[in-house]
Structure 1
Amino acid sequence: MSAVSKAKNGGGFSALFKVSATPTPAMDDFDTVIINVGGTRFETARSTLGRHPDTRLALLDENSLEYGPKKREFYFDRDPGLFVHILNFYRFGDLHFPRDLCGPTIRRELDFWGVDMQHVAPCCWGFFQACFDNDVTLKLLRQAFDTPDKPQQGESGASKWKTSKSQINRFLEDPSSSAWAKIYSWIFGAILVLAIFVILFSNLDVARVPAKFPRNVINSSTNLKLQRFEKTDPHPALLAVDIIILIFFTCEFILRIFVTPDRRQFFKRFSNIIELLAIIPKWTVLAIGFIPHYDRYPVLYWTYCYLSISDTFRVMRALKFGRNYVGLKVLFVTLRASATEMFFLLFLMMVGAVVFGVSVYFCEIWHEETFSNMPDGTYWAIITMTTVGYGDMAPKTAQGRVIAVLCALIGVLFTGLSVPIIANSFDQYYSMARLLLMRQRMGFSLDSVKKAAFANTQILIKKKQQQKRDAAKVMPVLARWKSKIQSTPDQTI
Structure 2
Amino acid sequence: MNESFEINLRGTKFLSTSPFVRDLMHALVKADQAATHPNGGFYVDRNPMIFHHILDYHSGGEFHLPKNICPLQARKEIEFWRIPSKGIHNCCYESLYNENEYQYTSIENLESDLKVQTNRSVSPMFGEKKVKNCLGRLRYKLLEAYLHPFTTWTGRVWLFISALVTITSVVVYLLNSDQHFRVSREGLPVLPYNLTYNMIVKNKKYLVFITTTREYVKSILEFFTNTFLLLELLVIFVITHQKRRFLLSLQNILNIATGLAVYVAWYIDVYSISTWENEHLDNFLIALGVFQSLRVIRFLRLVEFTPEMKILKLSLHESWREFVLLLMVLTAFSLIFGSIMFWVELDNPDTFPTVFISIWWAIITMTTVGYGDFYPKTVEGYCVAIVAAIFGLLLLAMPITILASNFNTFYNCYKYRKRHVLSK
Q: What TM-score bracket applies, with the shorter chain setting the length?
A: 0.7 to 0.9
Instruction: Kindly provide the CA deviation profile for residues 100-123 of structure 1, in whole angstroms up to 9, marking residues without a partner as x.
Output: 3141x3333233223334544444
Matching residue of 1:98: 67
Distance 2:29 2:108 in 1: 44
- The alpha-carbon distance between structure 1 residues 325 and 213, as it changes in their structure 2 partners (threshold 3 A), is farther
- Equivalent in the alignment of 1:12: none
Q: Give the SS at the match of 2:303.
A: helix
Rounded Cα–Cα distance in structure 1 between residues aligned with 2:282 and 2:29: 89
74 and 325 in structure 1: CA distance in 2 versus 1, 3 angstrom threshold: closer
Counterpart residue type for residue 41 of structure 2: E
- Moved >6 Å (runs of 4+): 61-65, 215-219, 296-302, 436-440
CA distances 1:407-435 after superposition (whole Å, capped 9, x unpaired): 22222222222332222222232334456
Q: For residues 316-465 of structure 1, what are the structure 2 equivalents within 5 Å?
A: 316-323=297-304, 325-434=306-415
Contact in 2 for aligned 1:151/1:163 (Cα 8 Å)? no
Contact preservation (8 Å) 2:162, 2:229: no
1:208 aligns with 182
* Matching residue of 1:151: 122
SS at the partner of 1:42?
strand
Does the C-alpha gap of structure 1 residues 48 and 355 become closer, same or farther in structure 2, counting only changes over 3 Å? farther
Contact kept in structure 1, 2:213 and 2:270, CA below 8 Å: no
* Structure 2: segments with no counterpart, 5+ residues: 192-196
How far the C-alpha of 1:168 sits from its partner, in A, is 0.6
Letter in 2 for 1:257: F
1:42 is matched with 14
- Report deviation, 1:80: 1.5
Matches within 5 A, 1:191-206: 191-206=165-180
Structure 1 residues 363 and 292, CA, compared in 2 at 3 Å: closer, same or farther? closer
State the distance in 1 between where 2:124 and 2:257 align. 37
CA distance in 2, matches of 1:200, 1:246: 14
Match of 1:132 among 93, 98, 101: 101
Match of 2:211 in 1: 231
Counterpart residue type for residue 131 of structure 2: A
- Is residue 2:252 matched to residue 1:272? yes
Deviations 1:423-471 (A, max 9, x none): 222223233445667789x69xx9xxxxxxxxxxxxxxxxxxxxxxxxx
Give the match for residue 194 of structure 2.
none
1:78 is paired with a residue whose SS is coil
Whether 2:108 is the aligned partner of 1:110: answer: no
Distance 2:295 2:365 in 1: 32
| Counterpart code for 1:419 | I
Using the TM superposition, give the Cα deviation of residue 284 of structure 1 relative to its aligned residue in structure 2, in angstroms: 3.7
Q: CA separation in 1, counterparts of 2:222 and 2:387?
A: 51
Check the 8 A contact 1:385/1:410 in 2, yes or no.
yes
5+ residue gaps, structure 1, are 1-28, 51-55, 447-493
Q: Equivalent residues in 2 for 1:222-301 (5 A)?
A: 222-286=202-266, 295=275
Asked if the contact 1:37/1:78 (under 8 Å) is kept, the reply is: yes
SS at match of 2:100: helix
1:126, 1:79 → 2: CA distance? Answer: 23
Matched residue pairs, number? 409
Distance (whole Å) between structure 1 residues aligned to residue 413 and residue 351 of structure 2: 51
Q: 1:140 to 1:342 in 2, by over 3 A?
A: farther
* C-alpha distance in 2 between matches for 1:301 and 1:380: 28
Q: CA RMSD in A?
A: 3.8
Task: Name the aligned partner's letter for residue 75 of structure 1.
Answer: Y
Once the two structures are aligned, what percentage of the paired residues are identical?
Answer: 20
1:295-329 CA deviation, whole Å, 9 max, x = no partner? 39999886555323311111222222222655444
With CA pairs under 8 Å and 6+ residues apart, which has the higher RCO, 1 or 2? 2
CA distance in structure 2 between the partners assigned to 1:315 and 1:199 by the alignment? 10
Measure how far apart 1:154 and its partner are: 8.4
Which amino acid in the other structure matches residue 173 of structure 2?
Answer: I
Farther-moved stretch of structure 1 (41-50 vs 295-304)? 295-304
Measured against aligned partners, the alpha-carbon deviations of 1:106-154 in whole angstroms (never above 9, x if no partner) come to 3332332233345444444444323212134315644785644342458
Alpha-carbon separation, structure 1, partners of 2:48 and 2:182: 78
Q: What is the deviation of 1:251?
A: 1.3
* TM-score normalised to structure 2 length: 0.81
Structure with higher Rg: it is 1
TM-score (norm 1): 0.71
Q: Distance in 1 between matches of 2:30 and 2:417?
A: 47
